[in-house]
Structure 1
Amino acid sequence: MRNLDGYIGSASNPRVKEWAKLLDRKYREREAKFLLEGVHLVKEALEAGWPLEAVAFDEGSGVLGEFEAYIDGERQGGPHWIPVSPEVIMKCSETGTPQPIFAVALKRPPRKESLFGTELGLVAVLDGVQDPGNVGTIVRSAAASGATAVVLGKGTADLYNPKTIRATMGALFRVDVLEADLNELLPEAKREGIAVAGTSLQASKSCYEYDFRRSVWLVFGNEGSGVSAQVDALVDDNVIIPMTGRAESLNVAMAATVLLFEAQRQRMVYTNKTSCPTT
């Protein structure tokens, strides 16, 4: 096996202490690294070719058998595979019953060209969305609906928070996610001829009447207060999601999913695609 390192049993090991610090946002930002917990996320990162520094696994769990294809000596430049004790796994996890494997991943610089380099760009813009689960779900929906990027504005939950990462279910490896000052980026998008749309319960136009067959950025605001006044002033159009049943409103992640998939539907018709893979 390639890159199989020696066993680490103590949670006080200096290397383990450095890994555990990545549970803290300031260390993630300083080191430009983050943790991936669990079989699914580690496999998704490996499949996507995401840069991983190390993969630590509980030697006695048998989990390594699920990853033989990634450590059979045929893949070059892969991560170091490190057998560790359950105590090490626990030290580097936020969950009470962690899975027997985690990876130390490197942050990869986002490609700004994904924002402006596509003829039919579709970008989800988050303005102060604070719940990690909502942010992760929107990233997942963006990847699934063929969006070109997700932009995280000020006050939005950290993409690399373990809760956010779990909510993405690995979709963060499939769509570009960038952090930006929306007060600077949205005017740039408008200068490029990109439509900027938001949602509002007071809007008169249905999202099903809106034209998504062009480059569109969709702005979604804070769970409690919505889009900030500064960002709202940069929105060209607001649309409403019709509800024939009885509910006050939709959760921000649900609203984002509805709009992203309506955009996908219109674009499929526009490009004469009548079917797509399903899950």
Structure 2
Amino acid sequence: MRFEQITSVKNNRVKDWAALKQKKYRSQTGLYIAEGTRLVEDAVASGAPIDAILLSGDLQSGRFDKIINGLASLGTQVYEVAEQVMEHISDTKTPQGVIAVIRQLEGDPNDFLDNKTNPLYLVLDGIQDPGNLGTMIRTADAVGATGVFLGKTCVDLYNPKVVRATMGSMYHLPVFEVDLELFLPAMKRQGITVVGTAIDADKTVFQHDFTQGTALVIGSEAHGLSAAMADAVDQNISLPMPGKAESLNAAIASSVMMYEALRQRTQ
């Protein structure tokens, strides 16, 4: 099957797609880009709302034939683009030859809270590093967390580096961007215990009961929980560190805590 070809970086659609590397244009259009074979395959398999598929090089045929033909039959626009066009749109130094332009998901996070039994939520406050955010979402996916909630001070979920770092996990579980100061009280009304982290906490992660509905709040890499979030949590827990390290990376710390939650829930 042949698709429309685009060979110039001056093409208006190419300009629009390249602009999606900037948060301003992602917010204005409600679109973002996901690139790479595995990531695009996960997006397609999960039923993500794909607006367009861009292909270049060898990926114009082969492993994507069935997927692309199926998308095209549903009305999704598929384009064959020149290598220089792919490089212009891509956020990576060595593009893999496939990009999906995807519509951002819309949904009411308050509705999502309803009727959940002993949920495990990961709540992130001020996470700035795209790699950390992507890793945290992957870990939440790995342990079977119920959902992830990002405060407004976190790096944008649809930042291309975050999207890549999730390695498809953002398509496997609900991820919402919310105002945490308004949203945490809604969690508490559902009977969920909001748990923060603090070095001087009375209880360690291994002493907390994760078998009950829990929202684990992780603060920024540099400053920990914001003052508002520190006031909002029901209790704090700590990670014991008998060695000489002063601290752990935020993504690693959240991973340890979430796997402790999984251990308790699967005993």
The answer to whether TM tops 0.5 is yes
**What TM-score, normalized to structure 1?**
0.90
With 49-58 and 185-194 compared, the bigger mean Cα shift is at 185-194
- Residue 273 of structure 1 aligns with which residue? none
In the alignment, the residues of structure 2 paired with residue 28 and residue 117 of structure 1 have an alpha-carbon distance, to the nearest angstrom, of 32
1:119 and 2:117 matched? yes
Describe how 1:14-93 pairs up with structure 2 within 5 A: 14-58=12-56, 60-62=57-59, 64-73=61-70, 76-77=73-74, 79-93=76-90
Task: From the superposition, tell whether residues 87 and 158 of structure 1 become closer, same or farther in structure 2 (CA, over 3 Å).
Answer: same
- Give the match's secondary structure for 1:66: coil
1:96 and 2:93 matched? yes
Describe how 1:225-244 pairs up with structure 2 within 5 A: 225-244=223-242
Paired AA for residue 89 in structure 2: C
Task: From the superposition, tell whether residues 250 and 116 of structure 1 become closer, same or farther in structure 2 (CA, over 3 Å).
Answer: farther
Structure 1: give runs of 5+ residues left out of the alignment. Answer: 270-279
1:106 to 103, 107, 125: 103
- Give the match's secondary structure for 1:157: coil
Task: From the superposition, tell whether residues 184 and 257 of structure 1 become closer, same or farther in structure 2 (CA, over 3 Å).
Answer: same
**What TM-score, normalized to structure 2?**
0.94
Contact 2:53/2:100, CA 8 A, preserved across alignment: yes
Q: Deviations over 1:173-221 (max 9, x none)?
A: 0111111111111112112211000111111211111101111001111
Contact 1:53/1:80, CA 8 A, preserved across alignment: yes
In the alignment, the residues of structure 2 paired with residue 187 and residue 256 of structure 1 have an alpha-carbon distance, to the nearest angstrom, of 22
Runs of 4+ in structure 1 over 6 Å off: none
Contact 2:5/2:80, CA 8 A, preserved across alignment: yes
The share of aligned pairs that are identical, in percent, is 42
- Give the match's secondary structure for 1:7: strand
1:201 and 2:199 matched? yes
- Give the match's secondary structure for 2:223: coil
Query: Over aligned residues, Cα RMSD in angstroms?
Result: 1.7
- Residue 276 of structure 1 aligns with which residue? none
